[in-house]
Amino acid sequence: AQKVTQAQTEISVVEKEDVTLDCVYETRDTTYYLFWYKQPPSGELVFLIRRNSFDEQNEISGRYSWNFQKSTSSFNFTITASQVVDSAVYFCALSEENAGNMLTFGGGTRLMVKP
């Protein structure tokens, strides 16, 4: 069965610090997809990134970067030079090819960026 673990329930940093959010997943499928979503205080879920299991290249988008390592079943998310607007709950999610398009979410990491 698929499972996503976000061990950090809450992280607090000061503005301009770098922060890494951890995500570890479990799956028996060889084809699967990993996602990160952001849930700001307003409550909506905002899509950030999708990664398939065959693409281990790291990705950078502005201050955001993602490190996918199949060897450790991890898909970590780093925010460089954090800003107050980054304060939110971040969810890692997994979908398996054999389970259709259903998303299994981790428990989320609440990031608080203080000025």
Contact (CB, 8 A) for 101 and 92: no
Select the residue interacting with another protein from 25, 75, 90, 108 (CB under 8 A).
108
Binding mask 7-36 for another protein (x = CB under 8 A): ------------------------xxx-x-
Count CA atoms closer than 13 A to 111's CA, side-chain side. Answer: 28
The span from the CA of 96 to the CA of 3, in Å, is 10
The span from the CA of 5 to the CA of 26, in Å, is 8
Three-state secondary structure call for residue 76: strand
Task: For residue 54, give Cα distances in angstroms to 23, 66, 95.
Answer: 18, 15, 14
Rule CB under 8 A: say whether 41 interacts with another protein. Answer: no
Q: Least CB distance from residue 48 to another protein, whole Å? A: 10
Q: Least CB distance from residue 3 to another protein, whole Å? A: 12
Binding mask 46-65 for another protein (x = CB under 8 A): xx--x-x-------------
Taking the least distance from each CB to another protein, the nearer of 14 and 102 is 102
Binding site for another protein (CB under 8 A): 31-33, 35, 37, 42-47, 50, 52, 91, 93, 95-97, 99-105, 107-108
